[in-house]
Structure 1
């Protein structure tokens, strides 16, 4: 499973931002009649008409995100003007609305914070924007505005206080899971929470959602984001293991297996490279891991559960544009997710 590419100067950038911020997951069930209304309909009674005069609550999550980052409407509009002039909105020279500009600002807040913690560089961001269809002049104009005027006003990510924990919990959760697919409550009973900002930020970048981090061992931490979908909420189905120093493949597999049910077995390995659109010359190693118990653990959380997980090894790390460097056999980061990861029809596996 390749990492999602960061959307750049195309109309999809705004669509993505407005979808990600303040909207429900597409995995959440569609709204429908309540059980009481359904029962009345089945009994031949008509459910009561909805109150059309009831006030509709506005979704303020996008504005709240901007305000918490110290970004006001004036800065949003100045960013939007640069975006409109350089194709980062609805097309070059097409004026965007305030809401659309707020979506662009939310995306660029992540960019600022990724650069601030060392996860990405301005050179790389410009190259990524050019690879996505922008010209060098457009990418340079946006990067210049971000670096000089927008990012200096963006507040650092503020992490919530770490909770108090009671450790020495059971090795397995109630479904016989051991990490991947397990609820946050199990993680909190088993592993000590650590500061995400300190341990994970530079390696995994700005989170989209609520981040958590756990001390897995003396040499490794687990970095993750709590899934927003209702049926996945509070269960971690995708995590990154970050080593203090690059580790060997045996240690990386040991760490991955420690977060899977006891029947987990590594089945096959495939080397991968970054996709053609990536400006990075990078590589990775994918390891598919079979576990029938994992299917049982994940089955109640999402559709199409499989008796598989996959671990992707990175020697330096990974951004939304792919692996940062070539795969050397030494691993700094392991991305562990549910499901099997196979090459495309062309035989290529992307990092």
Structure 2
């Protein structure tokens, strides 16, 4: 089945993996954390340019020893910021090894592999803390992805009773000072989707992501931002860590204070696209077979020739398409929460067109 969830393929941001087995997600976690780093939005992502004299002085001679690459400490740094020490990581790893959450049941993992699992579970703890997910749902998700009831219960019990009480809540940076009144379009004609954060900061007022978005969209690995779109709606997003995306928001969620009708939801999505955007076709989707949730969504493909120019330079094979996924309640890593009713609480908007498979199926 084709997926209508936009985050992973479009943004380069790792949505939370389903952590039954560590090996398939290890490189994704390391990559995401390495790309995110610890800098603020005000810091330049480019290194300072050295003068010609400095460059000549720094050019290694034939007798110079090669420089050893620096160790990657991104996992340890992330866990340290969450107040999770190595002793707790190892205790989690032991539970994971015994219950198939590592490289296989009974196979001992290394400290780095356990740090990768701990990074995933920090997000799990924070999602539960803000009400985005439940322990019942997390256990059901682990069972649906291959674990036994006993294994899933053992991990959930350890997380709930021993691991999560030590995890520090996500600490949001102070809201920046803004000078609003910027242009309606960015330099390429974009109006939000695929526009740079710098444009957003002159157009919409920033609001607290923790207060407005966390419970609805869950905890990202990256730098989240939130903007007031209207009196009844906010835009929630994560600044893409991938360097080629240059801090452009190519995947966003519109979250309404209360569910709204489809016309209102569509208008909100179109307001973030170039003015030539036209809704072309819609398809209802259901959750994937492995999901424990009984849920559905509505996918709307939107055509915009101008969007192709906006996206060009940010990603290969730019398309004149975007898609908006409508949820009546919300969505987690396990799919839509509840059926699609025609009322809309959340719209996930991303670049590119969603095509169903030959069977005509789309999954939420």
TM-score above 0.5, yes or no: yes
CA offsets, 1:195-216, max 9 Å, x none?
Answer: 0000000000001111000000
TM-score by length of 2: 0.88
Using the TM superposition, give the Cα deviation of residue 241 of structure 1 relative to its aligned residue in structure 2, in angstroms.
Answer: 0.1
Map 1:153-172 to 2 at 5 A.
Answer: 153-172=166-185
Tell me whether 1:6 sits opposite 2:8 in the alignment.
no
Using the TM superposition, give the Cα deviation of residue 17 of structure 1 relative to its aligned residue in structure 2, in angstroms.
Answer: 3.1
Name structure 2 gaps, 5 residues minimum: 9-15, 38-51, 53-59
Using the TM superposition, give the Cα deviation of residue 234 of structure 1 relative to its aligned residue in structure 2, in angstroms.
Answer: 1.1
Contact 2:36 2:222 in 1 (8 A): no
Change (3 A) 1:24 1:290: same
Using the TM superposition, give the Cα deviation of residue 121 of structure 1 relative to its aligned residue in structure 2, in angstroms.
Answer: 0.4
SS in 1 for 2:79: helix
Map 1:217-256 to 2 at 5 A.
Answer: 217-256=230-269
SS in 1 for 2:126: helix
Tell me whether 1:347 sits opposite 2:349 in the alignment.
no
Quote the residue 2:32 is aligned against.
Answer: 20
Higher relative contact order (CA 8 A, sep 6+): 2
Contact 2:282 2:301 in 1 (8 A): yes
Quote the residue 1:43 is aligned against.
Answer: none
Using the TM superposition, give the Cα deviation of residue 222 of structure 1 relative to its aligned residue in structure 2, in angstroms.
Answer: 0.1
Contact 1:9 1:86 in 2 (8 A): no
Tell me whether 1:300 sits opposite 2:313 in the alignment.
yes
Using the TM superposition, give the Cα deviation of residue 300 of structure 1 relative to its aligned residue in structure 2, in angstroms.
Answer: 1.4
Q: Identify which of 188, 211, 219 aligns with 1:198.
A: 211
Using the TM superposition, give the Cα deviation of residue 107 of structure 1 relative to its aligned residue in structure 2, in angstroms.
Answer: 0.4
- Alpha-carbon distance in structure 1 between the residues aligned to 2:112 and 2:361: 39
SS in 1 for 2:249: coil
The alignment covers a number of residue pairs equal to 331
Using the TM superposition, give the Cα deviation of residue 347 of structure 1 relative to its aligned residue in structure 2, in angstroms.
Answer: 1.2
Contact 2:194 2:250 in 1 (8 A): yes
Map 1:1-351 to 2 at 5 A.
Answer: 1-3=3-5, 6-10=17-21, 11-22=23-34, 52-351=65-364
SS in 1 for 2:246: coil
Name structure 1 gaps, 5 residues minimum: 26-35, 37-46
Change (3 A) 1:13 1:229: closer
Quote the residue 2:49 is aligned against.
Answer: none
- Alpha-carbon distance in structure 1 between the residues aligned to 2:246 and 2:63: 29
Change (3 A) 1:184 1:50: farther
- Alpha-carbon distance in structure 2 between the residues aligned to 1:300 and 1:133: 40
